[in-house]
Chain A
Amino acid sequence: MTLRAWTRLAFLLLLLVPTILRSQGEDPLARALAAYRDLDYDAAATRFRAALGATGSGRLNDADRTRALMHLGATELFRGRRDSAGDAFRTLLLADPRYRPDDLVFPPEVSAAFHEVRLGVRAIAVVVPADIELRTVSDRVPIRIYASALHEIRVFVVGTDAVRVTDVLHDGAVGDSLEVLWSARDSVGRAHPAGRYSLRVVSRGPNGREEREVRIPLDVDRFTVDTLSAPPPLEPSQLRPEMTTPVRTTRPLLIGIVTAATAAFLPSVAGAESGGSSLRFGVAGLAGIAGVVGTMTSARPRAIPENIESNRVARAAWEQEVQRIERENAARRAAPRLRVRAGRATVTEPR
């Protein structure tokens, strides 16, 4: 590429960049708002309607659409067309029941007209977490409902067959907002089967007639949680020996003989020339017999009560832990975790 070609390309870019940047930051309602600010309400109404009617790439996003409808309503009001203004406000409230005009932007007569229309519109917006996990039986899906005005609603979930009502969450009035909770479980805590459910919020008129319904698909997935592994069985090294190791020894006999001899000769050891209770020979005899018996039984394994009791406590603790884990696992299997994913809301108006 020659130097001349590079120069042409740079010049072209210099011309195009401001145009690109201007088109990206341009307000699609700029011309309509300019006419609105210049009090040219006829032109403003035409331009707002044109913007709202745009399709394809020129279609307004939700925020701009809300702004356009509110300004269109105000414009029509200033043009003396209250019906057209009411239509614009009504359309706005059906799209966004939570919308309220900014009193710093719109004069009081516009806000008053808006609220007058709002009180007659029965619309609701429903906000559900897009993806939520219910880990325990006490976990719930929070469903927040915003109303345009006080009216009666019925909130319920329809089962996977799309017919049977699984849970009725609310049936009564809603003022500004309301939060209801869905457990995705039946009345005894059993999880609903996996599948597609439908959350439905029906707005009713004063005569009880269903006027509007918002539906949100709820996809419920069940997945089992990991269970705890059982504790390893007690190793022999963890237990104390319950019996003595049989070792033949003459030590008991020696102790018995020394004890017997001491008992027999104790008066002499004490220095008495005579006397001493003859019952001491009974003590001496018993000591001797005990020594013989001790020597004979020393070759037999003997139970060690302290160790037996210690092992009993250890085994009981192990069994208690096993039972605790079994109960915990049973509870986990009985209450599987649920994952609830909410889809896009759709609005229908029964005829």
Chain B
Amino acid sequence: MMVRPLLLAALVLPTILAAQSRIGLDASIDVSTTTLIRQVSTERTFTGPVIGGAALIGLGRFELDGRYQQGSLTPEAGLTTDPEDLVDLSVHLNYRIRPWVRVGAGPRLRAFIAPAGTVRWTRVEVRTRMEGSVIPGMIAAHAELWFAPMVETNVQGGGSSARGGNVGLSLRLPRAPLDLRLSYGADRAEYASGGSEFLDEISIAIVLRRQ
């Protein structure tokens, strides 16, 4: 239900904003296969596809990017637990220190929605991202790491810590302002009670560059 508006926004927003002069813009849509490993007394694993979209507006050295993901994760065979819906929203303000490195910070809201209840995570992340050309004009690589100095959750006595990262390759499509991006992401958050949630994903994205 949410996918269509998301796709529409991802396609229309770049056009509107690109009309503004001197404003850089990236927009992307992605699909990923996501795995959630939750360790609270026992280990339970969920997998499923997640669809998302992201947009980045740059003005000078500053950038504002936002990302939204949503998907349904089903428990591995043999588990009696219910499937869970994943919703993840993050907004970051970045500063580009060099053309190939930037730092940023911002909030992330994440929820695992199940019939028995919803697990909500609220955290503030600090991150750094590096980019470089591997095959000039054709393939670029990026690596991103983050940690959360502030983590809150509504279960297991609250949150303790969280950190993660994302790494991938972007193939620049010839004669089109498009990149095809393959990336891997991993994120681990710990409960104050000692348990943890580990989320990793392999995703493919189409990125529209209007810079």
Contacts and interface: CB of A to CB of B under 8 A. Distances in A.
A130 interface: no
A37 B201 CA distance: 125
A163 interface: no
A275 B184 contact: no
B139 interface: yes
B75 interface: no
A279 B136 contact: no
A194 interface: no
Contacts of A244: 136
B135 A283 contact: no
Contacts of B168: 259, 263, 283
Interface string B188-211: 101000001010111000000000
B113 interface: no
B137 A302 contact: yes
A290 B139 contact: yes
B145 interface: yes
Interface stretch (A3-11, A68-76, A143-151, A264-272): A264-272
A293 interface: yes
B31 interface: no
Given A263-B167, A272-B188, A280-B184, A305 B198 contact: no
B56 interface: no
Interface in A232-274: 244, 251-252, 255-256, 258-259, 262-263, 266-267, 269-272
> What's the dominant secondary structure at chain A's contact region?
helix
A283 B133 contact: no
Interface string A268-310: 0111100111011011001100110110011000111100000
B137 A297 contact: no
Contacts of B186: 266-267, 269-270, 272, 276, 280
Contacts of B135: 252, 290, 293-294, 297
B202 A280 contact: yes
> What's the dominant secondary structure at chain B's contact region?
strand
Given A252-B133, A294-B136, A275 B169 contact: no
Task: Output the residue of A276, A277, A302 with the most chain B CB within 10 A.
Answer: A277
Contacts of A280: 184, 186, 200, 202
A287 B168 CA distance: 8
A199 to B, nearest CB: 64
A242 B168 CA distance: 29
B165 interface: yes
Interface string B105-117: 0000000000000
Contacts of B37: 272, 275
Contact of A294 (B139, B167, B198): B139
Contact of A271 (B33, B163, B202): B163
Contacts of B178: none
Contacts of B201: 277
Given A270-B187, A272-B198, A256 B141 contact: yes
Task: Output the residue of A258, A270, A276 with the most chain B CB within 10 A.
Answer: A270
B141 A270 contact: no
A310 to B, nearest CB: 15
A282 to B, nearest CB: 8
A277 B202 CA distance: 8
A247 to B, nearest CB: 11
B169 A287 contact: yes
Interface of A: 244, 251-252, 255-256, 258-259, 262-263, 266-267, 269-272, 275-277, 279-280, 282-283, 286-287, 290-291, 293-294, 297-298, 302-305
Given A270-B186, A279-B202, 15 more contacts: A259-B141, A263-B168, A266-B166, A266-B185, A267-B188, A267-B198, A269-B164, A269-B165, A272-B186, A287-B141, A287-B169, A290-B135, A293-B134, A294-B139, A302-B136
23 contacts: A252-B135, A259-B134, A259-B141, A266-B164, A266-B167, A267-B188, A269-B186, A270-B163, A271-B163, A271-B196, A272-B186, A275-B35, A275-B198, A276-B200, A277-B33, A277-B35, A279-B184, A283-B168, A283-B182, A283-B183, A283-B184, A286-B169, A297-B135
10 A-B pairs with least C-beta separation: A259-B141, A255-B132, A294-B135, A280-B184, A270-B188, A290-B134, A279-B202, A262-B167, A270-B164, A270-B186
Interface of B: 33, 35, 37, 132-137, 139, 141-143, 145, 161, 163-169, 174, 182-188, 190, 196, 198, 200-202
